[in-house]
Structure 1
Amino acid sequence: MQNSPRRRYREQVIGEIKQAALAQIDAGGPGALSLNAVAKTLGVSGPALYKYFRNRDELLTVLLLDAYDDVAGAVRETLEATADEPARHRLWALAAAFLGWAAAQPHRFALIAGTPLPGYEAPPESVGKARAVLGPFLTVLAQGRPAPVAGSLTGQLGEWAATTPAVADWVRTWAPDGDPALLLTTVLSVWSRLHGVVSLTVHGQFTGMGFDPAALLRAEMDAVADRLGLD
């Protein structure tokens, strides 16, 4: 039975394991995650957890994918909530949603954007999860006039889209009428600016500098919006 007591119990235990694991990561970073430590927190034996997760990496993967889904949901909701606003304002809002999510739970941001753990390899599905975070940005960027940037970057990204169906499909899903090469160039610029400001914020690099990092992020998005001619 789909919603049997056994299933509900299993889901409850998995939820408790994940919460204990996130508390560990919050205290010591992703490298601090340990199934034995999680078991101790929950008052059970280490082997008892292997009924739910085969090893630390499997638990880490679930937490990683959950984090991507959570931030993608926050960004997507913002896209929908700002549907009637000018494109530039929507770009500000999307960036602010990402910043707000990361600043509120830096330990989860570390899972998706922190230093890779030695020996851990993120699963292939994490690529699609990451693209879901940037998808709403493509929708807004397509409202402008993307133009090639100096050098060969646009050509390289155009070739990437042409030879990788998943990339081309991703762009078409969020921006059906946009030029994949030009949009990829622009969204890459947004991604690098966004992660730069957010990473510095999360790591406290702006502390004591006397300004709101959100203002810097807005200025970075304005630079992209100006290039695209977004209202």
Structure 2
Amino acid sequence: MAAENRTEPGLRDRFRAQVRQEVKAAALRQLAEGGPEALSLNAIAKQVGMTGPALYRYFTNRDGLLTELVIDAYGDLASALARAADADATDAVARLAAVVRAFRTWALTEPHRYRLLFRAPLQGYDAHSTSLVEASQPAMTVVLDVVGALAKPDTAVPDGPAVQFREWMKRHGIEDVPEAVAARTTMLWAHLHGLVSLEIEGNFSSMGIDPGTLYETEVKDFVRSL
């Protein structure tokens, strides 16, 4: 009996983890079909075979579920970028190119999750909470690292942005990164995000432009600018 009691919590924990994963999978399907606005706990409950009230034992509300999906997505994006950076640790240019290509590949493979991270937040949802800001940092850290290996650290940055970058880095414990590297990384992130966002929404198709070629050109221009 004692041995049975010892194993029971483990079984409950595994069952709870399994249910939570099933709920997240159902939520991701909803996101893919209709975006964050379509997220419905009652609909998810039906898909996984439980009642709405029962689902609240696993997630307190819709925003709680949404937050976990965002944190998971940031983690997966960071892992994809880190794997790309580690693939060729000796060539700084190749590492940077691999990371920014991995960024686009992840977005094209997971467009509904990419939108979840980078589109305008839902009304009433705090997309800038401490937990989400912290979850976003590992991906940015990878990009800071690969840009820092190439950027000139002593490049002048205007006083206003320089102070803001210093404050931002201090909040995240990355004070050893020069303001010039932070500035260049932010510009790269903004450019690539703009291109990827236009691509996954189909804007380049109507223009007859190959987004892959445009993206590669942007990467090459950025490397030259360093």
**TM-score, L = length of structure 2:** 0.88
Residue 198 (str. 1) matches residue 196 (str. 2): yes
Q: How many residues align?
A: 216
Matches within 5 A, 1:1-231: 4-85=10-91, 87-122=92-127, 123-144=129-150, 145-146=152-153, 147-148=155-156, 152=158, 155-164=159-168, 165-167=170-172, 169-170=173-174, 172=176, 178-179=177-178, 181-207=179-205, 209-228=207-226
- 1:170 aligned counterpart, secondary structure: coil
Partner SS, residue 207 of structure 1: helix
Q: Which runs of 5+ in 2 are unaligned?
A: 1-5
Instruction: Please give the secondary structure, in 1, of the residue aligned with 2:205.
Output: coil
Tell me, which stretches of 5 or more residues in structure 1 are unaligned? 173-177
Question: 1 or 2 for the larger relative contact order (CA 8 Å, sep ≥6)?
Answer: 1
Q: State the SS of the aligned residue for 1:4.
A: helix
Quote the offset at 1:209 in angstroms. 4.5
Q: CA RMSD in A?
A: 1.9
SS at match of 1:206: helix
Percent identity between the two aligned chains: 38
- 2:90 alignment partner, SS class: coil
Greater C-alpha Rg: 2
Aligned CA distance change for structure 1 residues 162 and 200 (closer, same or farther; 3 Å): closer
1:181-205 residue CA offsets vs partner (Å, 9 max, x unmatched): 1111101111111101110111111
Distance 1:198 1:213 in 2: 8
State how far apart, in whole Å, the 2-side matches of 1:207 and 1:162 are. Answer: 40
Scaled by the length of structure 1, what TM-score is found? 0.86
- Equivalent-residue separation in structure 2 for 1:93 and 1:189 (angstroms): 18
For 1:226, give the aligned amino acid: R
